[in-house]
Structure 1
Amino acid sequence: MSKVWIFDLDDTLHDASSKIFPSINQSMTNYVSHKLKISHHDAHDLRDQYWKVYGATLKGLIENHGVDPKEFLLSTHNAEELSKFVKQSHALENTLKKIKGKKIVFTNAPLHYAIAIIKSLNIQKYFSAVYSIESTLYNPKPSLYAFKKILRQLGKKAHQCIMVEDDLANLKTAYKIGMKTILVSKQNKKIIFVGKRITKITQLI
């Protein structure tokens, strides 16, 4: 029975923390401030609050302010600008080439951004599908709903899948429903729901 490899995108397949995330964060705060006509400081606090309650700024904006998710995602993820921060890696390409089985990307990012980043990394040929925040009807990982929706779309059972992620909360859900889990992180703590830990993606082979 062939395995399905489910890869997160940001900070798993490439480094998003150093330049991409700060830029997106700034754009999101600007958007909230402008849209709700509040100060940057208040916008920042509101986003913090929505993270705690909903796991994402967008979910809070949809629930409480009726914000159009497409508008929000397009104005906060300028794919053309953000792709410039991406560094191609032959080692990454080589790793993906050697991994046997179906490979997909499952990200909380919007589709236009995910595709632009994957193309900039020159790895689009290794993935049979990209599941984005739109695929889960704007319910982000680690929600159970998001995982179940992706499994239904894949037509697979959880035990047939291996989740490769940098985020512990997302791996916890994956483990709970029966997926194998691989953490991409430099932290060394033993965690029950992490099957294997690697410090970078190229260590998969």
Structure 2
Amino acid sequence: MSKIWIFDLDDTLHDASSKIFPYINQSMTAYVSQKLNISNDAAHELRDQYWKVYGATLKGLMKNHDVDPKEFLLKTHDVHELSKFVKQSHALKNTLKKLKGKKIVFTNAPLHYAIAIIKSLKIERYFSAVYSIESTKYNPKPSLYAFRKILRHLGEKPHQCTMVEDDLANLKTAHKIGMKTVLVSRQNKKTVFVNKRITKITHLNQQTR
């Protein structure tokens, strides 16, 4: 029986919260402000509203303002700048190298960004595929649609897969459809849909199988 490891990217394989997310957040607000000709404060409020209603800024912009998703993702994820914040880790490479089974990345980030970050981490050799927001027709995790679309493409059953994530909502969906789940978090959150918790990705090993 095959074994598939499905990894989230940001805040799972690398630290995005400290510098990358603030930069992207600022870029998204600036884009909305310029595109809709509104103030930064108004853009921030609109993004917050769209996040609550649609689960993502992009979904709201597409639905209500006919924004081109490719343009939005390209302009808000400047890989030349963002790649500067990535720190390589020998321990991460070693962890992935030792982990048996097929490994893929499944992220809500755009493909050009995901590939750039993975290359900056120098871990591209360990992954057989990268599934991005484009792969799910701009339907982000934790939507069931996104997970099912990736599984159909992989041609695998959920029970053959282990989802490694920092986001509880995404793990809840993964568990709901039958995947095993690993939470990467320093917070001790006990839930029925988390099979194992590790404080950082380099603690992942064969005991999670």
TM-score of Structure 1 vs Structure 2, range by shorter chain = over 0.9
SS state at 1:186 partner:
coil
Map of 1:87 onto structure 2: 87
Q: Deviation string for 1:106-144 (max 9, x for gaps)?
A: 000000000000000000000000000000000000000
**Matched residue count:** 205
Residue type at the aligned position of 2:8: D
Distance 2:40 2:52 in 1: 19
Residue type at the aligned position of 1:180: K
Q: What is the Cα deviation at residue 53 of structure 1?
A: 1.3
Map of 1:109 onto structure 2: 109
Residue type at the aligned position of 1:62: M
Identity of aligned residues (%): 83
The answer to whether residue 119 in structure 2 is matched with residue 119 in structure 1 is yes
Distance 2:80 2:189 in 1: 37
Divergent runs of 4+, >3 A: none
Residue type at the aligned position of 1:89: S
Q: What is the Cα deviation at residue 52 of structure 1?
A: 1.0
Map of 1:182 onto structure 2: 182
Structure 1: state its 5+ residue gaps.
none
Map of 2:67 onto structure 1: 67
The answer to whether residue 193 in structure 2 is matched with residue 193 in structure 1 is yes
SS state at 1:10 partner:
coil
Structure 2: state its 5+ residue gaps.
none
Map of 1:17 onto structure 2: 17
- TM-score w.r.t. the length of structure 1 is 0.99
RMSD: 0.5
Q: Deviation string for 1:139-175 (max 9, x for gaps)?
A: 0000000000000110011111000000000000000
Distance 2:127 2:203 in 1: 19
Q: Comparing 54-63 with 110-119, which one deviates more in the overlay? A: 54-63
